């Protein structure tokens, strides 16, 4: 049996939006998320003694103390996690581990991604989500700024496209098979009113006829950047037993990384997911066959294929066949990203990575509404950060 | 660090440790550090990424290699390069071992393939020389 020390007991999630017309400071967003997640879990703010964040725009240094001050929390565990899209999954296991070692009992885990109110002198107006292409790699001394950026290897899509290109050459997978990942995700999004593509199903033909952005990836295989936000509450098993929702144990976890830029990945089609997932499954004492639903980071269709293989759900090179042979829909034989994934729901910054966790928790707690997977007890959730770089795998099990 | 050419392209700003590499490019030579135990490595840094040894020496490579993977940027992910699309970005495994990144030149973007034999190409942009690759002649 895996770890039973800490459980997720509450969640809140805002609908991702391409344009966000209610700008707020990150600290204000955290306060609203905290109020909502504490209400969901029926836990009093005074019980919170841990905070995990990615950073705070309003306090680039001393971020955890700034947030503790802002929220009026006396905190024993204060963590900043910097793992790109794997950040939320990395936050959850760090919270669970901290609770297990006894340094704290109840931890707020934040994933806000909202624009700040316009600064005086700026032109203001609602803001469209757009990430800087260099992502900080242009600073003095950065290898990325000297080798990748001058070659045009920027943002994320070209790097994932290189993984897809290499995979197609090494193992062969049709573009139609990759398209099916986007189509099944979009199907699931039709059962999720929070999804940015709710009410907008697509077909394989739609994906195949969308324009090439970075060969071989096409527009509809790529997430839509959005604003949004979410939070979960992690607490001790003892406290979790007194919460209204079914506790979801963080029963196994693993993390692995080897590189930042894709140029230096040891093998772009044998990803760090493998070691993270192996550790998580071993820690949980759970077999791949026991997993009732999978919640895999899906910035691109190729990410899902590589994750299915490297997390051990099928042999290397068989991911295409696996996708062809299984329905990845919430009502299918291998439910995956039942919320629509980020491909269907939108990538709300950090909240995009968190959406894989919130959905797994909803499913295990039996509150996924129309898309509920029957008898869902064990979920695999993971995060992929950077250029197939940072990897965190979680096994989430119902009490 | 990045600075921009007169026509707006992002260019590398060499550091004390990477300058010999960029000086080599300006002379049409591909030079990298070679660790006596682990051979050539990329990118330049003070210690070998395999053993952290500092007894490396600069050495010249053939510039020949094969395309490990590539993509064609058709969207202009860097707005500063939007006027250059479509362009191919390749990861190249040099015959001597290390993997580098560069643009494909003297080649239609639709003709690039994984496994293609390539050789170093040098492109002068203002005071900087960029490393690219062309189909091996």
Distance from CA of A109 to the nearest CA of B (A): 32
pLDDT digit string (tens) for A134-167? Answer: 998 999 999 999 999 999 999 999 999 999 999 9
pLDDT at A125: 59
- Per CB-CB distance under 8 Å, the chain B contacts of A157 are 75, 77
Would the pLDDT of A227 be above 90? yes
- Please write the tens of the pLDDT for every residue from A169-183: 999 999 999 999 999
Neighbour tally for A104: CB within 10 Å: 21
B77 contact A CB<8A: yes
pLDDT above 90 (res B37)? yes
**A113-131 pLDDT per residue, tens:** 999 998 887 765 556 666 6
Chosen for mutation from B7, B77, B94 (greatest number of chain A CBs closer than 10 Å) is B77
Taken in order A82, A87, A88, A92, the sign of the CA dihedral is negative
Please list, residue by residue across B61-70, b when 16 or more beta carbons sit within 10 angstroms of its beta carbon and e when fewer do: bebbbbbbbb
**Assigned token pair, A144:** 């990325």
Domains, chain B: 2-135 (2.40.50.840)
> For residue A338, what are the domain limits?
6-117+222-398
Distance separating alpha carbons of residues B84 and B76, to the nearest angstrom: 8
Nearest-angstrom CA–CA distance, A116 and A300: 28
List Cβ neighbours of B135 (8 Å cut-off, separation of 6 or more).
Answer: B106, B107, B111, B116, B117, B118, B119
In this complex, the residue of B15, B71, B115 whose CB is nearest that of residue A214 is B71
Per the prediction, chain B carries an average pLDDT of: 97
Whole-angstrom Cα distance, residue A184 to residue A202? Answer: 9
Residues of B in contact with A166 (CB under 8 A): 68-69, 114
CB within 8 Å: A152 and B115: no
Residue B23 pLDDT level (bands cut at 50, 70, 90) = very high
In which band, very low, low, confident or very high, does the pLDDT at A339 lie, cut at 50, 70 and 90?
very high
Asked whether A157 and A214 are in contact (CB, 8 A), the reply is yes
Please check whether residue B20 is in contact with residue B26, taking contact to mean a CB–CB distance below 8 angstroms: no
**Which pLDDT belongs to residue A127?**
66
In this complex, is the C-beta atom of B2 within 8 Å of any C-beta atom belonging to chain A?
yes
Bridge partners, A383 (sequence order): A392
Residue at A1 is within a domain: no
Q: Decide if B13 and A145 are in contact by the 8 Å CB cutoff.
A: yes
**Domain membership flag for residue A71:** yes
The rounded percent of chain A whose pLDDT value lies above 90 is: 95
Would you say residue A36 lies in a domain? yes
Burial A200-233 (b: 16+ CB within 10 A, else e): eebebebbeebebbbbbbbbbbbbbbbbbbbbbb
Contact state of A145 with B69 under an 8 Å Cβ cutoff: no
Q: What is the mean pLDDT of residues A4-24?
A: 96
Q: Tell me the residue ranges of DSSP E strands in A104-240.
A: 106-113, 127-128, 212-214, 217-218, 227-236
Per the structure, the count of domains in chain A is 1
Q: What is the mean pLDDT of chain A?
A: 96
Does residue A93 have a pLDDT over 80? Answer: yes
User: Environment class of residue A77 by beta-carbon count within 10 Å: exposed (0-12), middle (13-18) or buried (19+)?
Assistant: buried
User: Residues near A101 by Cβ (< 8 Å), separated by ≥ 6?
Assistant: none
Q: What is the mean pLDDT of residues A355-374?
A: 98
CATH number of the domain encompassing residue A10: 3.40.47.10
Whether the pLDDT of residue A190 is over 70: the answer is yes
Domain presence at residue A210: no
Nearest chain A residue to B109, by CA = A215
Contact A195, A13 (CB under 8 A): no
Q: What DSSP string runs through A132-152?
A: -SSTTTTSTT-HHHHHTGGGT
Count Cβ neighbours within 10 Å for each residue of B22-40 and write b for 16 or more, e otherwise: bebbeeeebbbbbbeeebb
Quote the CA–CA distance of A396 and A7 in Å, as a whole number: 9
Residue A215, chain B, CB below 8 Å: the answer is: yes
Q: What is the pLDDT of residue B77?
A: 96
Run of H or E including A10: strand A6-17
On whether residue A178 sits in a domain, the answer given is no
Tell me whether residue A195 is in a domain. no
Contact state of B69 with A140 under an 8 Å Cβ cutoff: no
Q: B18 contacts in A (CB within 8 Å)? A: 146
Per-residue pLDDT, averaged over A218-226, amounts to 97
| A185 in any annotated domain | no
pLDDT of the residue at A119: 85
Restricting to B residues 8-47, those with a Cβ less than 8 Å away from any Cβ of A are 9-15, 18, 43, 45
Residue A195 has pLDDT above 70, yes or no: yes
pTM of the model: 0.97
Does an H or E element contain B94, and which? Answer: strand B87-94
Is A373 a domain residue? yes
What per-residue confidence (pLDDT) applies to A129?
Answer: 64
Question: pLDDT (tens digit, 9 = 90+) per residue, A59-90?
Answer: 999 999 999 999 999 999 999 999 999 999 99
Mean pLDDT for the stretch of residues B70-74:
98
Cα gap A80→A87, rounded to integer Å = 9
B91 CB neighbours in chain A (<8 A) are 162, 262-263, 268
Examine the pLDDT at A343 and tell me if it is beyond 90: yes
| pLDDT score, position A230 | 98
């Amino acid at each position: 049996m895996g770890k039973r020390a800490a459980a997720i007991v509450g969640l809140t999630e805002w609908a991702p939006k391409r344009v966000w017309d209610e700008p707020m400071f990150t600290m204000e967003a955290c306060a609203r998320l905290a109020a909502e997640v504490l209400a969901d879990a029926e836990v009093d703010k005074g019980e919170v003694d841990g905070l995990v964040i990615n950073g705070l725009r309003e306090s680039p240094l001393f971020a955890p103390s700034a947030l503790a001050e802002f929220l009026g929390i006396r905190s024993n565990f204060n963590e900043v996690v910097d793992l790109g899209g794997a950040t939320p999954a990395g936050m959850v296991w760090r919270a669970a581990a901290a609770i297990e070692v006894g340094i704290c009992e109840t931890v707020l885990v934040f994933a806000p991604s909202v624009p700040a109110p316009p600064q005086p002198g700026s032109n203001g107006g609602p803001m469209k989500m757009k990430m800087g292409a260099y992502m900080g790699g242009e600073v003095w001394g950065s290898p990325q700024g000297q080798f990748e950026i001058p070659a045009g290897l920027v943002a994320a899509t070209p790097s994932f496209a290189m993984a897809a290109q290499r995979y197609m050459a090494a193992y062969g997978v049709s573009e139609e098979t990759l398209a099916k990942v986007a189509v099944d995700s979009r199907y699931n999004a039709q059962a999720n009113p929070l999804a940015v593509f709710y009410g907008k199903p697509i077909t394989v033909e739609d994906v195949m006829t969308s324009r090439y952005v970075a060969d071989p990836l096409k527009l509809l295989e790529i997430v839509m950047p959005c604003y949004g936000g979410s939070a979960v509450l992690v607490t001790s098993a003892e406290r979790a037993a007194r919460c209204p929702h079914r506790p979801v144990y963080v029963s196994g976890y693993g993390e692995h990384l080897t590189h930042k830029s894709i140029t230096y990945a040891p093998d772009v089609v044998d990803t760090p997911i493998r070691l993270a997932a192996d550790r998580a499954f071993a820690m949980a004492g759970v077999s791949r066959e026991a997993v009732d639903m999978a919640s895999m980071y899906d910035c691109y269709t190729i990410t899902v294929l590589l994750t299915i293989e490297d997390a051990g759900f099928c042999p290397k090179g068989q991911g295409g066949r696996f996708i062809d042979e299984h329905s990845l829909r919430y009502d299918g034989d291998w439910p995956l990203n039942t919320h629509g994934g980020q491909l269907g729901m939108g990538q709300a910054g950090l909240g995009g990575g968190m959406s894989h966790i919130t959905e797994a928790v909803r499913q295990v707690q039996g509150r996924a509404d129309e898309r509920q997977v029957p008898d869902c007890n064990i979920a695999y959730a993971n995060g992929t950060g950077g250029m197939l770089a940072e990897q965190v795998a979680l096994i989430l099990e119902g009490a | 660090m990045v600075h921009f050419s007169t026509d707006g392209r992002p260019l590398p700003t060499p550091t004390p440790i990477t300058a010999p590499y960029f000086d080599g490019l300006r002379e049409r030579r591909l030079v990298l550090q070679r660790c006596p135990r682990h051979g050539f490595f990329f990118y330049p840094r003070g210690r070998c990424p395999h053993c952290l040894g500092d007894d490396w020496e600069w050495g010249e490579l053939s510039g020949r290699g094969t395309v490990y993977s590539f993509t064609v940027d058709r969207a202009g992910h860097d707005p500063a390069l939007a006027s250059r699309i479509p362009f191919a970005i390749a990861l190249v495994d040099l015959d001597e071992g290390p993997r580098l990144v560069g643009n494909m030149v003297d080649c239609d973007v639709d003709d690039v393939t994984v496994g293609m034999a390539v050789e170093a190409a040098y492109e002068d942009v203002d005071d900087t020389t960029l490393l690219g690759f062309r189909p091996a002649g």
